[in-house]
Amino acid sequence: MSDHPNPATPATIAELLTRTSVRMFTPAPVPDGVKASILDCAFAAPTAGAQQLYTIIDVADPAIKATLAQTCDHQPFIASAPWVLLFLADCRRWLDMYELAGAPARQPGTGDLLLAVVDATIAAQNAVVAAHAYGLGSCYIGDIVEQREQVVELLGLDPYVFPAALLVLGYPTEQQLRRTKPARFPREAVVLTDRYRRLRPDELRSAIQARGEDFDRTIPAFCKRKYMSDFAAEMNRCVRDYLRPFLD
């Protein structure tokens, strides 16, 4: 590796490996300079055709945070997070530019939307990595897609934007710093060579057992609590509706 210009930087690798999600924060505000640097890292993320197919909403209004805490499956810590960032996949900004320039443009399709979702998420993850480097904790809130009608009204969302990732950030409480990172699957359950295939029953079982869990106890309980939950049904209902303008 010694003849390569960017040698291994174990600091970065260690940061990526040890980061855990943080949901409880001290009241300390995030300094403006730190916020600006983290946002710069988000902007610097790879982006399709340098388009930055996202808009970031910095949710500062405590009333809006409090409402999001409710619409996102009732998670009060969202209301008390010092910094709340919503990464929207934005298929509107470039469309508006095309129209302003008098360029003939079609309506956005699901391909445009998915490209923008990926773009927005890449930027969000750069923010997460940067935040961790500054000693900030963060957590993604997948429930942001729920209660679509209320969220669209609350945040003034355009039909051609989609809430890809909600992040809450702040300095972790002592208790949060002591949390154990949840176990991950062994590599062979996640990485395949050359072609996709469904895992065999023995592979599915050992993937869960390798995380220290009992397959026959964990899986039915998780299925009932998460996959068959009301909030999962609500996510599916709402995402379908978010997709509608892109399917026309």
Q: Which of 66, 149, 209, 226 binds a second copy (CB under 8 A)?
A: 226
Q: CB 76 → a second copy: shortest distance, Å?
A: 19
**Region 131-160 residues binding a second copy, contact defined as CB under 8 A:** 132-135, 138-140, 142, 145, 154-158
How far CA 161 is from CA of 62, 86, 93, 113, in Å, comes to 23, 12, 9, 8
Q: CB 80 → a second copy: shortest distance, Å?
A: 17
Cα 190 to Cα 204: distance, rounded to the nearest angstrom: 11
Report if residue 178 touches a second copy, rule: CB under 8 A. no
Q: Which of 105, 150, 188, 209 binds a second copy (CB under 8 A)?
A: 105
Q: In the beta sheet, which residues pair with residue 161?
A: 90
Q: CB 205 → a second copy: shortest distance, Å?
A: 7
Is residue 209 within 8 Å of residue 236, measured between CB atoms? no
**Region 85-104 residues binding a second copy, contact defined as CB under 8 A:** 88, 92-94, 96-98, 100-104
Phi then psi for residue 184, to 5 deg, are: -110, 165
Cα 72 to Cα 12: distance, rounded to the nearest angstrom: 32
Q: Which of 29, 44, 66, 150 binds a second copy (CB under 8 A)?
A: 44
Report if residue 5 touches a second copy, rule: CB under 8 A. yes
Question: CA angle, corner 38, sides to 33 and 41, nearest 5?
Answer: 130
Report if residue 199 touches a second copy, rule: CB under 8 A. yes
